[in-house]
A and B are shown apart, each in its own frame.
Chain A
Amino acid sequence: MQKDQNTQKLIIPYLLGELSPEEREKLEDQYFDDASLFEEMGMVEDELIEAQLNNELSGPALERFKEQFSKSARRENLDFTKALLSYAQAHSQFGTIAASPTPQVKQSGFRLVFKQRWAVATALVFMVLGGVSLIYLIRARREVNQLRNERAALEQRTRELENKSAAQNTRIEQLASELDRAREGIKQSPTPNASPELNVTERGPSVATGIVIARLVRSKNNRQILNVSPAASVLRLHIVIEKGNYQSYGVIIGDDNGEVFRHDQARPQQTLNAYFIVVEIPLRQLLPRHRYLLKVSGVDATGKTEDVGQTYFSFVKR
């Protein structure tokens, strides 16, 4: 039992890349030989992903998660889980599930040990994540009380994060610089014909791609100017946003005369350190050199919307 408890304590640190090489090798030797342990690790990874998608990770755990799941193979699992959750939540309102016939499970000694191992694992997961609700205890009342306490802590953290929006703006600007440097590298690629102008890369004869940053803090002086090829008929706009935790996003572009463009149900995407959404705007709907206000709102599972950022922008044809 002690050995099982020690092993369970290592699963999440392993998945977040925090174990020493010796501890890592020892756990790998174990899960290669133990099918139930291997399965448990897969389930814990899924639950870790769910915790992140439900904004239950913070601090070092969140940073480690982002680092580990920025890698393409693991990001595939993250993307798939996100898609499955979106689908399931969009198709909710099922009726009661009829009890499906399940195989009879003998309550052998092995199963009892497995259940005990699992109960210890969930308590240890809770300690390691510092309050993250990944508990599957048999007694539902204890779970609900613990979840209430955790929810209060999350709300407090949310208020703290909202007060740090200025620091986040600076980080986003740094990211924009990184994007510019990355774009310099793309210029070497044979496929895109990169424009030397800021923020825009041509993707073909009729589509221009641009990047803008939608900030929570309003600033009329902050206008982003995009240079677009005269031949372009569509502007594919990558909009960097500060909050990527909504199911979908709405984008409205307007000027003093009203709304000129709207796009609902934009899905968030992610690079190493930022979230962004993509919209395609027919350029015939916009005037060159005209100042437009772009607003982004997030839509949660209940349909409630919240402003997540805005920016002024205009474009010139060159």
Chain B
Amino acid sequence: MDADQLRKTGLTELAFNTLLARFDPDREIAAQKYQAVRLKLVRFFEWQGSTEPETDADKTFDRLARKLYGGEDITDIGSYTRGVARMIMRERIKADQKTQQALTEMTHHQVVSSGENKFIEQQSRCLDKCLDQLREDQRQLILKYYSVAGAERIQWRAKLAAEMETNLNTLRIRAYKIKRQLRACVQSCMQKGEGGGN
């Protein structure tokens, strides 16, 4: 995590180092474990219906780090993390009124309507750019995997797997990992305002 990311989470460097150390004494391994847990937290908040899963994941680490830095004795860090995450989710649910959220969704569509076509165009350009960044075999695989719609797609993917001399499940896992990588790339591209066109 660089200085910018650290500043966004609100963690002090010392608190963050304390948190990392709990993952693993080796800082590189600790960073990998941190990212793996963060991804799970983001998905957890998404699946719970949070409107800001990344923020909530960072908030979870923030509270965890402050507890550790404050000297709290936490024996089962995984269970404690999940408990903090659930508490944060309960707080979010209380804060969100259902009708207010619906109104926000409608307002979002209205207020940004002047940019929605641009949003779609930017997403398309970012997708182009991110596909170009894949290895050629990955690019071919993901595009062929999704090239057929409807009920025929199952048969199509079975055929693809046979051509690749592998089984359907392996193909499925490969496609999922490439799609995940692509999605992260497009998200990053959109956030940076890239793909804005000529």
Contacts and interface: CB of A to CB of B under 8 A. Distances in A.
A211 B86 CA distance: 40
A74 B144 CA distance: 25
Interface in B115-138: 116-117, 120, 123-124, 127, 131, 137
Interface string A77-89: 1011101110111
B147 A38 contact: no
A38 B40 contact: yes
B110 A182 contact: yes
Given A84-B127, A143-B155, A201-B110, A74 B149 contact: no
A73 B155 contact: no
Contacts of B173: 39, 43
Interface of A, helix, strand, loop or mixed by DSSP: helix
Contact of B105 (A42, A68, A105, A271): A271
Contacts of B168: 136-138
Contacts of B164: 97, 99-100, 102
Contacts, number: 186
Nearest to A151: B151
B167 to A, nearest CB: 7
A189 B174 CA distance: 46
Interface in B137-162: 137, 140-151, 153-155, 157-158, 160
Given A32-B78, A97-B144, A97-B163, A38 B179 contact: no
A38 B43 contact: yes
B47 A15 contact: yes
B133 to A, nearest CB: 15
Contact of A70 (B105, B127, B137): B105
A158 interface: no
Interface in A41-90: 41-43, 45-46, 50, 53-54, 56, 68, 70-74, 76-77, 79-81, 83-85, 87-89
Contacts of A272: 102, 105-106
A203 B113 contact: yes
A136 B172 CA distance: 9
Nearest to B159: A140
B10 interface: no
Contact count band on A? 35 or more
A113 B34 CA distance: 28
A73 B89 CA distance: 14
B107 interface: yes
A74 B151 contact: no
B110 A88 contact: no
A207 to B, nearest CB: 7
Interface of B, helix, strand, loop or mixed by DSSP: helix
A252 interface: no
A73 B44 CA distance: 11
A144 B105 contact: no
A301 B148 CA distance: 9
B62 interface: no
Contacts of A53: 149
Interface stretch (B11-19, B22-30, B48-56): B48-56
Given A43-B173, A89-B149, A151-B151, A189 B163 contact: no
Interface of B: 36-37, 40, 43-47, 49-53, 78-79, 81-82, 86, 102-103, 105-111, 113-114, 116-117, 120, 123-124, 127, 131, 137, 140-151, 153-155, 157-158, 160, 163-170, 172-174, 176, 179-180, 182-183, 186-187
8 contacts: A31-B40, A38-B43, A72-B105, A83-B124, A84-B146, A186-B110, A192-B111, A271-B106
Interface of A: 14-15, 17, 25, 28-29, 31-33, 35, 38-39, 41-43, 45-46, 50, 53-54, 56, 68, 70-74, 76-77, 79-81, 83-85, 87-89, 91-92, 94, 96-97, 99-100, 102, 105, 115, 118, 133, 135-138, 140, 143-144, 147, 150-151, 154, 178-179, 182-183, 185-186, 189, 191-192, 201, 203-204, 207, 209, 236, 238, 267, 269, 271-272, 278, 280, 301
Which 4 pairs of residues, A with B, have the shortest CB-CB distance? A88-B146, A182-B106, A92-B147, A100-B137
